[in-house]
């Protein structure tokens, strides 16, 4: 029995992830995400467009290659809650008669996205890491892994031909506060049982290192806050709103300062609310201002005594409608001035639009005389040596790198070739067992 893998999105860019795995008469869809760069360009206007136009604008994946196979879709798996993996579920998934599967945190975020777009799905099923769901002739297993958002999972699709292993996104972090260590034991067991194909992200596959733990980010934050502070000046921190572990690190790092911490922005309010709802982390002593009126109020109050506050705001990628961009453009009473500190506890998503937006934002901040601190951060994505460890644990017959531009996909082939040399074998061959795909392509293994 052949297995067909349709690489529908995320194989020529970072984001817009969607993969379909066909086993016999069943299909499992893995993620349906936004191109975040294109979403930012539309400035929250995605609701004005239908599915066809959003696909033609390359905002969402184009699932035309499986158009005639829609009745074979048995499940849609959401690997984690980032919008480049779940953002297009409310737009694309309703036409499939299939449940959406995810962890409790991820499924709650899917429900939030559905609510914002005024869409409904017939069935959303929450599963915990370690659970297995049998659907027809296959079974779907969730394996715990760490990333920059809670309750991320690896997905193992068990078939008669072996396991199809979906590894997007991840890092190997043994020291997160809100998450236990990755389930190395189960990953190794699956490798011994037989992995037919590994489909995995490649965002940092060209970086010759292992990705550091979140504990490093916490110490970077602590050092930046304690060593650079002007007592009467403003401190503004921006990060990814979904990075609950990072928000926890910010809380921990700021405890030595006699300042009130406030989370400011719509998406921060959304992710914090969901994290509290599912019991990941509560923030009882932190004010969260997420609606326009409350945002204006807290920023007006903070502007009068900047030295009394640390503001955590949305806008880490330079999004035009974010709180930080509006601050920089003097929309609020809180005005940036010389000596204020703006800390980017994040990297820039490696898309041209994001890079340009962030560059322009930092230039405007500096023009106000404020200090800019870049990359007080560690990545949530595995680097080259983490990927080597994953391959060595799983020993897959085939490898399909995803979630990156072509140079990163090529870096994955270089890694696989190095593993050939390490073990003095010729297991991984470009075009035969290592597949560098394109959006809309089909691979038969």
> What is residue 356's predicted lDDT score, i.e. its pLDDT?
85
Place of tokens 């405007």: 364
Tell me the helices (H) and strands (E) count for the chain, helix number first.
14, 19
**pLDDT at residue 46, rounded to an integer:** 65
pLDDT digits (tens, 9 = 90+) for 80-133: 999 999 999 999 999 999 999 999 999 999 999 999 888 889 899 999 999 999
Please tell me whether residue 131 adopts helix, strand or coil conformation. Answer: coil
Greatest C-alpha distance within the chain: 69
Residue 375: exposed, middle, or buried by beta-carbon count in 10 A (0-12, 13-18, 19+)?
A: middle
What would the two tokens of residue 353 be?
């639009």
pLDDT at 210 over 70: yes
Q: Residue 350 class from Cβ within 10 Å (0-12 exposed, 13-18 middle, 19+ buried)?
A: middle
- Which token pair is 327? 């601050």
Give the pLDDT of residue 41: 72
Structure tokens, 317? 């990628």
Question: What is the C-alpha separation between 121 and 29, in angstroms, rounded?
Answer: 15
Q: What does the pLDDT read at residue 214? A: 96
Give the other-Cβ count within 10 Å of 42's Cβ: 15
Confidence label for 348 from pLDDT (cuts 50, 70 and 90):
confident
R_g of the chain computed on alpha carbons: 22
Which two three-digit tokens encode residue 108?
Answer: 């709650």
Q: Are 171 and 80 in contact (CB under 8 A)?
A: no
Query: pLDDT band at residue 319, thresholds of 50, 70 and 90?
Result: confident
Please, are residues 105 and 150 in contact by the beta-carbon 8 Å criterion?
yes
**pLDDT score, position 229:** 65
The contacts of residue 281 (CB under 8 Å, 6+ apart) are 178, 244, 247, 248, 275
Has this prediction a pTM greater than 0.85? yes
433's tokens: 């067992």
Fold of 214-373: Rossmann fold (3.40.50)
| pLDDT score, position 1 | 67
Quote the pLDDT of residue 40.
76
132: its two tokens: 């297995």
The CATH architecture annotation of domain 3-210+380-444 reads 4-Layer Sandwich (3.60)
Which regions of 251-391 does DSSP assign to beta strands (E)? 260-264, 287-289, 309-313, 341-344, 371-373
Mean pLDDT over residues 304-325, rounded? 93
Domain ranges of the chain: 3-210+380-444, 214-373
Statement: residue 371 has pLDDT above 80: yes
- Answer yes or no: is pLDDT of 413 > 70: yes
What pLDDT is attached to residue 354? Answer: 76
Contacts of 305 (CB under 8 A, 6+ apart): none
* pLDDT value, residue 208: 97
Q: How far is CA 74 from CA 21, 27, 167, 439, in A?
A: 10, 6, 20, 22
pLDDT of residue 352: 78
- Report pLDDT for 44: 59
Q: Please enumerate, as own/partner, the contacts of 429-435 that have beta carbons within 8 Å and a separation of 24 or more.
A: 433/397, 433/398, 433/399, 434/398, 434/399, 435/398, 435/399, 435/400
Confidence of residue 232 (pLDDT cuts 50, 70, 90): confident
Percent of residues, the chain, with pLDDT higher than 90: 87
Tens of pLDDT, residues 133-174: 999 999 999 999 999 999 999 999 999 999 999 999 999 999
| HSE-up of residue 166 (Cα within 13 Å, Cβ side) | 28
Helix (H, G, I), strand (E, B) or coil at 40: helix
Closest residue by Cα to residue 195 from 368, 415, 391: 391
Mean pLDDT taken over the chain: 94
Q: Is 376:220 a contact under the CB 8 Å cutoff?
A: yes
Contact 170, 382 (CB under 8 A): yes
pLDDT for the residue 10: 95
Among 36-45, 383-392, 423-432, the range scoring the smallest mean pLDDT is 36-45
């Amino acid at each position: 029995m052949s297995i067909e893998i349709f690489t529908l999105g995320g194989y020529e860019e970072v984001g817009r992830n969607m993969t379909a795995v066909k086993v016999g008469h069943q299909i499992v869809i893995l993620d349906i995400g936004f191109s975040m760069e294109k979403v930012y360009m539309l400035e929250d206007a995605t609701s004005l467009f239908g599915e066809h136009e959003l696909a033609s604008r390359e905002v969402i994946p184009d699932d035309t290659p499986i158009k005639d196979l829609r009745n074979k879709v048995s499940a849609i798996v959401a690997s984690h809650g980032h919008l480049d993996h779940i953002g297009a579920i409310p737009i694309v998934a309703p036409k499939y008669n299939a449940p959406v599967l995810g962890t409790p945190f991820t499924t709650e975020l899917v429900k939030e996205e559905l609510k914002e777009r005024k869409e409904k799905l017939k069935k959303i099923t929450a599963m915990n890491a370690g659970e297995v769901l049998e659907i027809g002739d296959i079974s779907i297993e969730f394996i715990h892994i760490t990333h920059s958002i809670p309750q991320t999972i690896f997905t193992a699709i068990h078939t008669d031909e072996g396991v199809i292993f979906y590894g997007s996104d991840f890092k190997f972090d043994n020291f997160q506060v809100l998450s236990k260590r990755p389930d190395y034991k189960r990953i190794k067991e699956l490798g011994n049982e037989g992995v037919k194909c590994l489909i995995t992200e490649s965002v940092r596959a060209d970086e010759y290192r292992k990705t550091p733990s979140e504990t490093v980010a916490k110490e970077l934050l602590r050092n930046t806050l304690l060593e650079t502070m002007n007592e009467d000046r403003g401190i503004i921190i921006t990060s990814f709103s979904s990075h609950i572990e990072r928000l926890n690190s910010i809380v921990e790092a700021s405890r030595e300062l006699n300042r009130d911490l406030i989370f400011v922005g719509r998406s921060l309010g959304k992710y914090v609310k969901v994290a509290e709802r599912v019991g990941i982390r509560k923030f009882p002593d932190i004010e969260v201002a997420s609606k326009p009126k409350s945002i204006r109020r807290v920023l007006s109050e903070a502007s009068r005594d900047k030295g009394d506050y640390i503001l955590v705001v949305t806008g880490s990628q330079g999004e035009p409608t974010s709180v930080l961009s509006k601050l920089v453009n003097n929309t609020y009473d809180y005005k940036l001035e010389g000596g204020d500190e703006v800390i980017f506890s994040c990297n820039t998503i490696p898309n041209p639009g994001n890079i340009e937006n962030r560059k322009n934002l930092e230039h405007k901040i500096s023009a106000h005389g404020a200090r800019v601190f870049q990359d007080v951060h560690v990545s949530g994505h595995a680097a080259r040596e983490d990927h080597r460890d994953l391959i060595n644990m799983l020993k897959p017959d085939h490898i399909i790198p995803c979630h990156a531009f072509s140079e990163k996909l090529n870096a994955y082939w270089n890694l696989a070739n190095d593993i050939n040399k390490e073990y003095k074998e010729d297991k991984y061959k470009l075009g035969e067992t290592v597949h560098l795909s394109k959006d809309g392509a089909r691979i038969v293994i």
